Amino acid sequence: MSPAPLLIVTAVVEVGAGAGFLLAPGAVFDLLLGEGHPAPDATFVGRVAGAALLALGVAGGLGRNDNSSPAQRGLLTGLLVYNGAVGALLVYAALGLNKAGVALWPAVALHAVLAAGCAAGLRSEPLSPVRESRS
């Protein structure tokens, strides 16, 4: 199965989240952590995270049709690490820091599904041979 649908979903989700963090970080913090008025430094870090999420979304969208290439496998591996880490951090926010907004557990579930999709894509896609370019 092609990872293209997973990468399209990733692109849409991450571009949307990135735009949210860039444009209205307080609203995103409220939805995820129940913190409606984050400190200015947290707002800044949220915007930096938004820029990173935009980059992930763009990479996912552009890499969707590069089937079985080393670059696509690298993208899927990076997204697997990202989704696993973010899911774990959100669980920690809820259980360890007692922070939870209305979107926290849905976000945990979404990251778990995306991580599982990345893992499945890595297992099912054989690596195609790298073509040497001649200059």
List, for residues 60-114, the tens digit of each pLDDT value. Answer: 999 998 887 899 999 999 999 999 999 999 999 999 999 999 999 999 999 999 9
Structure-token pair, residue 29: 């913090």
State residue 68's pLDDT score: 79
Ordered by start, the domain boundaries in the chain are 4-124
CB atoms within 10 A of CB 105: 13
Whole-number percent of the chain with pLDDT over 90:
78
Question: pLDDT per residue over 107-134, tens digit each?
Answer: 999 999 999 999 998 987 565 555 555 5
Residue with tokens 């092609």: 2
Mean pLDDT of 45-71: 93
Q: Phi then psi for 119, rounded to 5 degrees? A: -60, -45
Give dist(CA 26, CA 46) in Å, integer: 9
Burial of 95 (0-12, 13-18, 19+ CB in 10 A): exposed
State residue 44's pLDDT score: 97
Query: Please, are residues 122 and 67 in contact by the beta-carbon 8 Å criterion?
Result: no
State residue 2's pLDDT score: 79
* Sign of torsion over alpha carbons 92, 113, 120, 7: negative
Whether the pLDDT of residue 23 is over 80: the answer is: yes
State residue 129's pLDDT score: 54
Q: What is the pTM of this model?
A: 0.85
State residue 126's pLDDT score: 61
Burial of 14 (0-12, 13-18, 19+ CB in 10 A): buried
State residue 55's pLDDT score: 96
